[in-house]
Structure 1
Amino acid sequence: MKTFFTRWSIRNPVITVALYIGVLILSVLTLIVIPVRMMPYVQSPLVAVITRTPGSSPMEVETYISKPIEQRMTVLDGVRFVRSSSQQDLSIVTVQFAWGGDVDKAVRDVQSVMKSAEGDLPIDGINTRSYWVLPIDPLNRPVLTLALKAEDWDRVKLREFADNTLVDRLTSVQDVQSVFITGGYRRQLQVNVARQKLAAYGLSILQVRDAIDNLNRYC
């Protein structure tokens, strides 16, 4: 077999060179067109609902944000399971759909549920940022992590600089999809409430929070 191909190549040098050039061109085109990844890409069936509630404890986040969202997500078609993580100032609810389904449709369904739930969830106060609904894509991991440090600034000033200046500058960079900030310290007002007296007046914690929010609007 080797002898045959050798003889054929010698007798047809032009065709042989053309074949080698064709293989080389196809190799270069393949290298340019086909994406190169360390691992095969598989579309994740996970959708996350992220809600930021500055000033809320993990227990308050779980009671007033995470659990109500979990209960509403269970009515969606194709949901395999729903789980949540409640942290200081942050709620993350993860919804898993069936593998191989339409992830874009799943995101729209979750957004629709959240839209109808806005009136029942305490996510419209002045101290509460809006929620995000986004697919959990293995390729959407952070590609750059920055740590801020300054000898003459405290944690409050560092956080204010990150929120008011750094975020705007980073999001203005081309191809930057999102920027998340953690750490630092926000100026907060702590209100200690006597639950017995609150109950005697027929008030709830949420009503106290709303009153503080309304006051902040005019300060």
Structure 2
Amino acid sequence: MEKGLSGNIAKAFLQSKLTVLLMVAFLLIGGYSTLLMPREEEPQIQVPMADIFIAYPGASPKEVETKVSAPLEKVISNIKGVEYVYSTSMSGQTMLIVQFLVGEDVERSLVKLYSEIMKNMDKMPQG
């Protein structure tokens, strides 16, 4: 039966005494490089985030969610660079947490967020 190129290479490695030596050498080189590799215990990764608090006095949590939180979530999630939008609706108020993609410029992200909210203020209830 014909073995082909890969079969011949495998046969050469199986029969060679050099294979064990190469494996030990690669293991030692890998261990040495692991020790030399720079690493941080707690790397400083900056994730731009924004908290938005909105008061809607006298409204129930359900009303706050349907009239304020849900429309704002849709508007904010369409902003380029926004990764997640979380909201919590309570009696008379709501809190939205906007998380941008890692690496986004914090100031530009906040300016985009502010201008998008201001553009859509006419959709929010008065109060």
Work out whether the TM-score is over 0.5: yes
Match of 1:110 in 2: 113
Distance in 2, matches of 1:98 and 1:44, equals 7
Distance in 2, matches of 1:63 and 1:104, equals 29
2:57 is aligned with 1:57: no
Larger radius of gyration: 2
Q: How big is the shift at 1:48?
A: 1.9
Regions of 4+ moved over 4 Å: 39-42
Equivalent AA in structure 2 for residue 72 of structure 1 = V
Distance in 2, matches of 1:109 and 1:50, equals 17
Q: How big is the shift at 1:40?
A: 7.7
User: Percent identity among equivalent residues?
Assistant: 33
Match of 1:47 in 2: 50
Match of 1:189 in 2: none
Distance in 1, matches of 2:98 and 2:83, equals 8
Q: 1:80 aligns with which of 75, 80, 83?
A: 83
Equivalent AA in structure 2 for residue 83 of structure 1 = Y
Equivalent AA in structure 2 for residue 74 of structure 1 = S
Q: Deviations over 1:134-184 (max 9, x none)?
A: xxxxxxxxxxxxxxxxxxxxxxxxxxxxxxxxxxxxxxxxxxxxxxxxxxx
Query: Between Structure 1 and Structure 2, how many residues are aligned?
Result: 86
Pick the structure with more strand per residue: 2
Match of 1:90 in 2: 93
Structure possessing the higher relative contact order (Cα contacts under 8 Å, 6 or more residues apart):
2
Distance in 2, matches of 1:53 and 1:42, equals 35
> TM-score, normalised to structure 2's length?
0.61
Match of 1:70 in 2: 73
Q: How big is the shift at 1:80?
A: 1.0
Matches within 5 A, 1:63-212: 63-122=66-125, 124-125=126-127
